[in-house]
Chains A and B, each alone.
Chain A
Amino acid sequence: MISKPYIKLKNVSKVFGQNPDTVIDLVQNNIDKTELQNDYNHIIGLQNINIDIPKNKIQVFMGLSGSGKSTLIRHLNQLIRPTSGEIVVNNVNVTELNKKDLINFRRENFAMVFQKFALLPHRTVLSNTYFGLQIRGVKSPELENTAKYWIDKVGLDGFENYHPNQLSGGMQQRVGIARALANDAPILLMDEPFSALDPLIRIEMQDMLITLQKELKKTIIFITHDLDEALKLGDNIAILRDGKIIQSGTGQDIILNPYDSYISNFTAQVNRGKVIECEKVMKKLSKDAFSKVTIAKEAKLEEAVRVMISNNINEVDVVNSKKKYIGTVYLDDVMASIINPIAEP
Chain B
Amino acid sequence: MSILTEFPSIDTETLRSLKKSIDAGFKNFSRNYGDNIESFFEPVRFLLIESEQFLINTPWPIIMAIIAIIAWAGSKNIKIVISVVMILLLIGYFDMWENTMKTISITFVAALLAIVFGIPIGILMAKSNFFQRVMNPVLDVMQTMPSFVYLIPVVMLLGIGKIPGLIAVVIYSIPPMIRLTNLGIRLVNQAVIEAADSYGASNTQKLIYIQIPLALPTIMAGINQTIMLALSMVVIASMIGVTGLGQPVLTAIQNQYFTLGIFNGFAIVGIAIVFDRVSQAYGKRIQESHGTINDK
Residues of A that sit less than 8 Å from B by CB: 77, 79, 103-108, 110-112, 114, 116, 118-122, 131-132, 134-136, 163-166, 183, 189
12 additional A-B pairs beyond A114-B191, A121-B290, beta carbons within 8 Å, are A77-B198, A79-B197, A106-B198, A107-B199, A110-B199, A118-B189, A118-B192, A131-B199, A135-B196, A135-B200, A136-B200, A164-B295
Residues of chain B with a CB closer than 8 A to A166's CB: 291
Contact (Cβ within 8 A) B195 A114? yes
In the complex, are the beta carbons of A107 and B197 less than 8 A apart?
no
Known A79-B197, A131-B209, A134-B209; contact A120-B202, beta-carbon cutoff 8 A = no
Q: How far is the CA of A261 from the CA of B199 in the complex (A)?
A: 40
Cα-based distance from A118 to B292 in the complex (angstroms): 13
Contact for B214 among A103, A108, A111, A121, CB less than 8 A: A121
Main secondary structure of the interface of B (DSSP, over half): helix
Q: Is the CB of B198 within 8 A of A116?
A: no
The chain B residue sitting closest to A106, CB to CB, is B200
- The 10 A-B pairs of least Cβ separation, nearest first, read A165-B291, A107-B200, A106-B200, A118-B195, A112-B198, A132-B199, A122-B290, A118-B191, A121-B291, A103-B200
Among A79, A120, A163, A183, point to the contact of B194 (Cβ < 8 A): A79
C-alpha gap A121/B194 in the complex (Å): 14
Chain A residues in 8 Å Cβ range of B192 = 118-121
Q: Which of B189, B202, B209 contacts A103 (CB 8 A)?
A: B202
List the count of A-B residue pairs having beta carbons below 8 Å apart.
Answer: 79
Is B213 engaged at the interface, CB distance under 8 Å to the other chain? yes
Contact at B291–A164, with CB atoms within 8 Å?
Answer: yes
Chain B CB count within 10 A is highest, among A105, A106, A110, A121, for A121
The yes or no answer to B210 lying at the interface (CB within 8 A) is: yes
Question: Closest CB of chain B to A299's CB: distance in Å?
Answer: 38
Contacts of A122 in B (CB 8 A): 213-214, 216, 289-291
CB-contacts of B161-187 with A (<8 A): none
B residues less than 8 Å from A110 (CB atoms): 198-200
B296 on interface, CB distance cutoff 8 Å: yes
Contacts of A131 in B (CB 8 A): 196, 199, 209
Closest to B197 in A: A79
Query: Which of chain B's residues have a CB closer than 8 A to the CB of A136?
Result: 200
- From residue A36, how far is it (CB to closest CB) to chain B in Å? 26
24 contacts between A and B (CB under 8 A): A77-B198, A103-B202, A106-B198, A106-B199, A106-B200, A107-B199, A108-B200, A110-B199, A112-B199, A114-B194, A119-B192, A120-B192, A120-B209, A120-B210, A122-B214, A122-B289, A122-B291, A135-B200, A135-B205, A163-B289, A163-B290, A163-B291, A164-B295, A183-B199
A135 proximity list for chain B (CB < 8 A)? 196, 199-201, 205, 209
> Across the interface, do B295 and A121 meet the contact criterion of CB distance under 8 Å?
yes
Residue in chain B with minimal CB distance to A163: B291
Judge if B156 is at the interface, Cβ distance under 8 Å: no
- How near does chain A come to B132, taking the closest CB pair, in angstroms? 22
User: Quick one: closest A residue to B205, CB to CB?
Assistant: A135
Q: Mark B118-142, 1 if CB is under 8 A from A, else 0.
A: 0000000000000000000000000
> Which residues of B sit under 8 angstroms from A77, Cβ to Cβ?
198
- Report how far A103 CA is from B197 CA in the complex, Å: 8
Instruction: Give the interface centre of A106, A107, A118, A122 by most chain B CB atoms within 10 Å.
Output: A122
Chain B: minimal CB distance from A345 (Å):
41
Kindly state whether residue B96 has any CB partner on chain A within 8 Å.
no
CB distance from A160 to the nearest CB of B (A): 16
Chain B min CB distance to A162 (Å):
11
State the CA gap A135–B207 with chains docked (Å). Answer: 12
CA distance A230 to B179 in the complex (A): 47
- Determine if A79 and B198 form an interchain contact, defined as CB atoms under 8 angstroms apart: yes
